[in-house]
Structure 1
Amino acid sequence: KIEAISEITSISGFNLLNNSAGPAYGMGFVKLKPMAQRGAVKDIESIMGTVNATLAEVKDGQVISFRMPPVDGYGVTNDVEVVLQDRMGRDPKVLKAKADELIGELMKVKGVQFAYTMFRTDFPQLELEVDEDKAKQLGVSVSSALNTLQTYLSGDQSLNFSRFGKFYRVNIKADATFRKDISDMNDIAVKNDKGEMVPINAIVKFNHVYGPESVNRYNLYNSLSLFVVPIAGVSSGDLMTRIEPILEKLPSDYTYEWTGLGLEEKSSGNQTMMILALCLLFVYLLLSAQYESYILPLAVLLSIPTGVIGAYSAVKAVGLDNNIYVQVGLIMLIGLLAKNAILIVEFAVQKRKQGESILDSAIGGAKARLRPIIMTSLAFIVGMIPLTVAHGGLATGNRSISVSAAMGMLSGVLLGVFVIPILYMLFQTLQEKVSGKKVHLQTENK
């Protein structure tokens, strides 16, 4: 019914979110048409909204649509995944009740679209109860009775053999028609210590109960996974920062762990500032060697924020978040802005060595290098324009890196031609005062 969908591949009996099998689960993979053939609705977020609205009409189950993770191998969804752990090892129903309470708190956080868990404790089950006293009276071993039930219901690999150069495995299991109802247990018998066949239902009773289909453990604790979906425009990093105060308020008998892509983002999130600091450090050391000064390179480094401010302002203005593409663009921007500043400062230093005043050398450097700076910067900005209007699956990444780099370069050029000469004058004056070296000014010959 949705025009943008090309085909759907469905799989029954498997839950991708908690990697478990069961008759109550089903999953499907939706393949979209190429962008030009999707009709009026092209954006994947809008398509998912239409899909969720359509699936909300299903009354016999809960249907959730989600995007695959941006990096394969880190989780199974694009959502923030949290593992809630019960340190006391109590009944899974207690853990589920705490998870429902926590989901209610998370839903109140600004930026959260919804939160959910696939863990349930109301699956209908059959509990096997063995009457050991009666089994002893009838001469039936409890282990033999359980092994017989296992062979009939779930199968048993009894032996292997080789014939005609091939290896064969022998699996014994009752046919499906003889194990589809509880009444089929009347046909199962087990041998006692006298060699007599005893009906299995004489020592075994089945009780109808409700409980979890499977119980997962994380760090050896009973656990379940919570998935938190951000609203459009909120990054996973911002969402983790917003929900972390609520997770920190958990009682001492509960704990939580980030997992999936969130765990990797949390563990490597502090590396961004370290990488930026290393970039600035290398630029500073290279310029210090070039200018033979530890003070003058500061004129280049302190001009870089003129572009960084423009980059972050543009990213925020167009509704993007501070993602990895923006950070890559900033690293590239640091080099380009430093290059522009070096052009002006290097020319001004040469003029100063020729005997011109600090003011004249600063103005002369800005005038002489204005044209090449504008030409190279304008070529860079124009080259980024196709990425800023990109569409498709990689549009967000292309827009992030192009908007941050292009607008950062634009603000760096517009502000830099005024800020860089001022910074040069300030640090050149400071350099001469610290070193004590005086430069003789040029005088006119009369």
Structure 2
Amino acid sequence: MKLVNTSVKRPVGVIMIVLAILALGFVSVRSLVIDLFPKIDLPIAVVATTYNDAAPQEVENLVSRPIESSVSSVEGIETVQSQSQAGSSLVMMMFKNGTDLDQALLDVREKIDQVKGMLPEGAGDPSVLRFSPDQLPVIWVGLTGKDPAALTQIADEQLVPFFERQGGVASVTVEGGKEREIQLILDQAKLQQYGVSPQMLVQALNSSNKSASAGSVEKGNQDLQIRVTGEFESIDAIKQTFVQTEKGAKIHVEDVAEVKDTFKESSTSTLVNGKPSVVLSVMKKTDSNTVEVADNVRAGMDEIQDKLPPGVNLDVIIDTSEFIKLSISSVVQNILLGGIISILVLLLFLKSVRATIVIGISIPIAIISTFTLMYFTGETLNVLTLGGLALGLGMMVDSSIVILENIYSYRQRGYSLFEAATKGASELAPAVIASTTTTLVVFLPIVYVEGIASDLFTPLALAVSFSLIASLVVAVTLVPMLSSKLLSKAMEDNGRRYWFDRFMNRVNNGYRNVLKWVLKHRKTTVIGTAAAIAASLALIPFIGAEFIPSSDQGQVQIQVEAPAGSSLEYTEGIVEQVNEKLTTYEADIETNYVSIGGGGFGAMGGNANQATYTMQLIPSSEREKTTTDIVQEMNDDIQTIAGAEFTVSVMDGGMGMGDPVQIQLNGPEHQVLRELADRVVAQISEVDGVYNPESSAAAGVPQQTISIDEEKAAMYGLTQQQITSQIQLQFTGQVATQYREEGHEMNVTLMYPEDERSTISDLQTMTIQSQTGTAIPLETVATFKEVQGPVTLQRENQQPQMNVTSEVVDRDLAGVVEDIEAILADMNLPEGYSYNIGGQAEDMAESFSDLALALVFSIFLVYAVMAVQFENFLFPLIIMFAMPATVIGVLLGLFVTGLPLSIPAFIGVIMLAGIVVNNSIVLVDYINILRRKGIDRYEAILEAGPSRLRPILMTTLTTILGMVPLALALGEGAETQQPLAVTIIFGLTISSIFTLLLIPVVYTLFDDLTGKITRRKKKESA
């Protein structure tokens, strides 16, 4: 080949090109974005709308339904879901894969604009957002100290602006802070004494707290703007505001109300490691590097800590970059270990440091070249792309080994260094190109797979492909050039008997004898192979299946739910009991963050009866138990606490894959769905492997409903709106105006004393002021009733829905889902009600279906590539017989290691379709070369087999042993690639054995068949 000859003749040019590639690669790797996983493209849009303090039923009917109807006609929408809860509506649209989300969002906004005017008065403007896992914070920082008010001020004034200036930071959100408020505590007796209503106070405060422009006047050559200033300049100014009574008297605000400079009544509290804290969550910009942003924030913390008051400290609560760093470090460690093992294998076979260097040099060049290609294709440096490099490590040297072995054989026959390099490389270059191409083409169909499987493993496929292309170029250019310059002494036989040579001679002789036996017993060999494949298929029921293996990130979540309607103080009491239980696990817990009454880690909101713990455990290498084990122990301990319900679970670290099992119940009535959901939870709890089954039907919130008798109200000159506003004023307060101080704006709120707005009696006996000034008890014009109201109402595709979710522990997902489906099939659902399985189980089924189709196309492409290479349809068919035996290795490997079939394992099967034929290509190609030289078929096979055994063993062992560190799941985050490595190791090992024995037998069978057909045609033509 011209490329080989040119590279050997122009060594300086080749070396300069290699150096340029290495320099470019080092620049690229510094610029690559580092993340845990590739970016997952979820085509989801969200419409969020507020609606005052409306009940969930009103929110559903007046807000969620109109929005659902309007957006359902947007092109590309697959599913529309809505959640209606007190005061807010959330409508989520899931689009088909491949939908242009930017255009879809424009269409959604257009539809929302059309329906906006139909929404009820009091509903906020709908916000249309793009949902992405990138929107989760990258780091949570806790600010601790003695004074919560001071902490809030420090967070708002110093820390938020400071952190938002750090590189890559998009925004910083403060949770658990105290919001300053000027409260006017009304005195009912004095209001009645002076004949003043709260509305008169509001009017007086508003009119006194205004500044306005009043034109301009001339002063010499200048025009002076006239500005009337009247804003409150101090708290005293609020106290001294004049209020005119109905009788014309003037009083001050402080005569009828106590003016307090205080903080808003808080419905939430946050604790970090048991201490009251303010928590800052830091979001990164879309294209920013997670690790870099977290490092910038940490560096900023060190810088600003000295500027904080004494006793105020900043601590990292959760840093998502820590696991990324550990995972990347583990994969790099596995790459280095695999590389060392591969080099040792080469050294063992080649008996020469120089020869080992010639081949080993292809590894760093291929890796650095891959980084360059990854940079220009926009890929990130993550666990899966680096895992692809680790998996491709052993394969990187395959082409170089085959080329060098052939150069060595020519050198032994007496050819000069130049001739041996050119002839040896040129002769097997076509076979090497074919074998590499077969490995590459198996990845093409993966590009067309949709969903999470594609998002996660297309980057892995690209990483492997880039590394193999680079290693192929090195094999046909750099290896022949270096062989012609460096290996004069390495290729000389000094006559010494090397122990490994003696061992290889025995292996060769043994293989030759076995080869003779299988060629004499061809039917037995074929039947034995078929029997072994059939026997391996019997292992399938014992293997099971799951979606994607979870990594032990050491993040634990505990959700506490006290009875609906519980006060914040009651929930805090439950939290204290949980804290006592958690002291047992202090050695394993790094940070412990609890949000009481808030939404917690990454959530959008909460209630006073809820608390959410987010705990970061120490790295898995530093603890004896897995996160799952610790979670199960915690669950057993915490469930003994009375007075609340607890859910202890492992967090997925933001992968966004949903619950393992999600049963979606659909039907016309919410109440019936609630009852069905409870039945489903009770029944699936008995299934082995089901853990923490939950219904989305939360317990109803106790509500005190007030029905106003409009006829009685009219007798007193009152309307329903007037009565409602007075009730709201007494029990929630009313913002009268704003007060500005040193650039900060705060509410001035009218409210009644707490002891007048706490009990049902306070509600029933409260007085309502009529237009004439008459005071009447509320119970005169209203009736009261206590009911249970729903917390959240869910709908999917404009039909009520209820979800039952569950985690899976100590069992494979497919087996659990199979048992659950059997239970659901036996349940007699009412007419009009149905169920379907969603969550990871649904994603797994869809991904397996897509990947199975990709596997079929991959096998066809492998055959097509070989047909083009051999210019023959028969030889590729012979080579393809190496594939069926792969099934034995794959199933045996998963069974022995106890791993279920998963997406990574399936990707491994697809990769094997391209890898296992490589050895067969080299073997069949060499048999054909010998036969073209006039050697008899039987002798050609007996010579080609043993002579190709050495390079086949070298390529197979470097590939297999290079993946051993990944298969052992050494280090953090290696669990994701483990099934992939195990599948390839066992599949390639077993298929290599069958390649060396079965392929020669199949070759002779097909050759005999071809001979018979040819002789028959000759007789017919004669």
Shift of residue 298, structure 1, vs aligned partner: 1.8
- In the other structure, the counterpart of 2:625 is 42
Greater mean alpha carbon deviation, residues 423-432 or residues 275-284: 423-432
2 CA distance for matches of 1:357 and 1:380?
Answer: 33
Q: Is the 8 A contact 2:738 2:748 kept in 1?
A: no
When structure 1 is superposed on structure 2, of 94-103 and 149-158 the one drifting more is: 149-158
Equivalence for 1:84: 665
Is 1:115–1:226's contact at 8 Å kept on the other side of the alignment? yes
Please say if residues 432 and 438 of structure 1, whose CA atoms lie closer than 8 Å, have aligned partners that are also in contact. no
Question: What secondary structure is seen at the aligned counterpart in 1 of 2:645?
Answer: coil
Matched, 1:239 2:816: yes
2:783 to 189, 201, 205: 205
Q: Deviations over 1:231-282 (max 9, x none)?
A: 31413x4433442344455444222344444443343331110121121111
Which of 674, 678, 686 is equivalent to 1:96? 674
What letter is aligned with 1:240? V
Count of aligned residue pairs for this structure pair: 430
CA deviations 1:73-105 (Å, max 9, x no partner) are 333xx53222322x2225x2x322211211233
1:71 deviates by 5.5
Distance 1:296 1:302 in 2: 10
Q: Distance in 2 between matches of 1:359 and 1:147?
A: 101
1:322 alignment partner, SS class: coil
Question: CA offsets, 1:141-185, max 9 Å, x none?
Answer: 123323443455456678899x99989686856368254333333
Q: TM (normalized to structure 2)?
A: 0.39
Judge conservation of contact 1:130–1:205 (CA < 8 Å) in 2.
Answer: yes
Please give the secondary structure, in 1, of the residue aligned with 2:647. coil
Q: Given the superposition, is the C-alpha separation of residues 107 and 352 from structure 1 closer, same or farther in structure 2, using an over 3 Å criterion?
A: farther
- CA, structure 1 residues 196+356, in 2 after alignment: closer, same or farther (shift >3 Å)? farther
The yes-or-no answer on 1:53 pairing with 2:636 is yes
Match of 2:807 among 222, 226, 229: 229
Match of 1:105 in 2: 683
Letter matched to residue 132 of structure 1: E
Q: Distance in 1 between matches of 2:902 and 2:736?
A: 56
- With over 3 angstroms needed to count, the CA separation of the structure-2 counterparts of 1:192 and 1:9, relative to structure 1, is same
SS state of the match for residue 874, structure 2? Answer: coil
How far apart in 2 are the matches of 1:300 and 1:70? 44
Contact kept, 8 Å, 1:233 with 1:321, in 2: the verdict is no
Q: Does structure 1 residue 9 correspond to structure 2 residue 593?
A: yes
Q: Distance in 2 between matches of 1:354 and 1:287?
A: 22
Change (3 A) 1:135 1:281: same
Note if contact 1:155-1:171 (Cα within 8 Å) is conserved in structure 2. no
Deviation at 1:342, TM superposition (A): 1.0
Preserved CA contact (<8 Å) 1:298 1:427: no
1:409 and 1:151, CA in 2 relative to 1: closer, same or farther beyond 3 A?
farther
C-alpha distance after superposition, 1:164-223 (max 9, x if no partner): 998968685636825433333367555546565544343233323334323222333333
The equivalent residue for 1:133 is 711
Contact conserved, 1:157 with 1:169, CA < 8 A, in 2?
Answer: no
For the residue of structure 2 that corresponds to 1:21, the secondary structure is coil
Q: Out of 931, 948, 959, which is 1:369 matched to?
A: 948
Larger mean CA deviation between 167-176 and 224-233 belongs to 167-176
Matches within 5 A, 1:302-317: 302-317=881-896
User: CA offset at residue 285 of structure 1?
Assistant: 0.7
Determine helix, strand or coil for the equivalent of 1:66: strand
- Taking the TM superposition and a 5 Å limit, the aligned residue runs for 1:106-255 are 106-113=684-691, 115-154=693-732, 174=751, 177=754, 179-185=757-763, 189-190=767-768, 192=770, 196-235=774-813, 237-248=814-825, 250-255=829-834
Which deviates further from its counterpart, 226-235 or 4-13? 226-235
Q: How big is each residue's C-alpha offset from its partner over 1:372-416, in whole Å with a ceiling of 9 and x where there is no partner? A: 111111122222222233345424224322222212221122222
Distance (Å, rounded) in 2 between the aligned partners of 1:296 and 1:355? 19
Shift of 1:10: 0.6
User: What secondary structure is seen at the aligned counterpart in 2 of 1:88?
Assistant: coil
- Between stretches 385-394 and 410-419, larger displacement belongs to 385-394
Q: State the SS of the aligned residue for 1:125.
A: strand
- The secondary structure found in structure 2 opposite 1:6 is strand
Cα distance in 2 between the residues matched to 1:166 and 1:257: 55
CA contact (8 A) 1:362 1:424 kept: no
Cα pair distance change 1:19/1:435, threshold 3 Å: farther
| DSSP-derived class of the 1:403 partner | helix
- Structure 2 counterpart of 1:346, one-letter code: D
Q: Any idea what the Cα deviations from partners look like across 1:413-434, whole Å, max 9, x if unmatched?
A: 2222111212222334445556
| Contiguous gaps of at least 5 residues in structure 2 | 1-583
What displacement does 1:118 show? 4.7
Matches of 2:752 and 2:908, distance apart in 1:
63
**Aligned amino acid, residue 24 of structure 1:** N
Tell me if 1:321 matches 2:903: no
The answer to whether structure 1 residue 386 and structure 2 residue 965 are counterparts is yes
* One-letter code aligned to 1:414: I
What secondary structure, in the 3-state scheme, does the structure 1 residue paired with 2:641 have?
coil
Instruction: Judge conservation of contact 2:847–2:903 (CA < 8 Å) in 1.
Output: no
**Structure with the greater alpha carbon radius of gyration:** 2
Q: Describe the shift of the 1:82–1:174 C-alpha distance in structure 2 as closer, same or farther (beyond 3 A).
A: farther
* Residue number in structure 1 paired with 2:615: 30
State whether residues 706 and 785 of structure 2, in contact with CA within 8 Å, keep that contact through their aligned partners in structure 1.
Answer: yes
Instruction: Indicate conservation of the 8 Å contact 2:628/2:650, yes or no.
Output: no
Shift of 1:15: 6.0
Q: Is the 8 A contact 2:920 2:999 kept in 1?
A: yes
1:418 aligns with 2:418: no
Give distance in 1, aligned partners of 2:856 and 2:753: 66
Aligned sequence identity (%): 24
> Helix, strand or coil for the counterpart of 2:804?
strand
CA distance in 2, matches of 1:404, 1:416: 17
Aligned to 1:278: 857
Matched, 1:404 2:983: yes
Change (3 A) 1:107 1:133: same
CA contact (8 A) 2:702 2:788 kept: yes
CA distance in 1 between counterparts of 2:737 and 2:840 reads: 44
The structure whose residues are more often helix, as a share, is 2
CA spacing shift, 1:334–1:10, aligned 2, 3 Å: same
Give me the TM-score of the superposition, normalised by structure 1.
0.83
Cα displacement (A) at 1:301: 2.0
Q: Is the 8 A contact 2:621 2:971 kept in 1?
A: no
**3-state secondary structure, aligned to 2:656:** coil
**Do the aligned partners of 2:733 and 2:752 also contact (CA within 8 Å) in 1?**
no
Aligned in 2, Cα 1:312/1:213: closer, same or farther, shift over 3 Å? Answer: same
Q: CA deviation at 1:7?
A: 1.9
Three-state SS of the structure 1 residue aligned to 2:634 is helix
Tell me which moved more, 290-299 or 334-343. 290-299
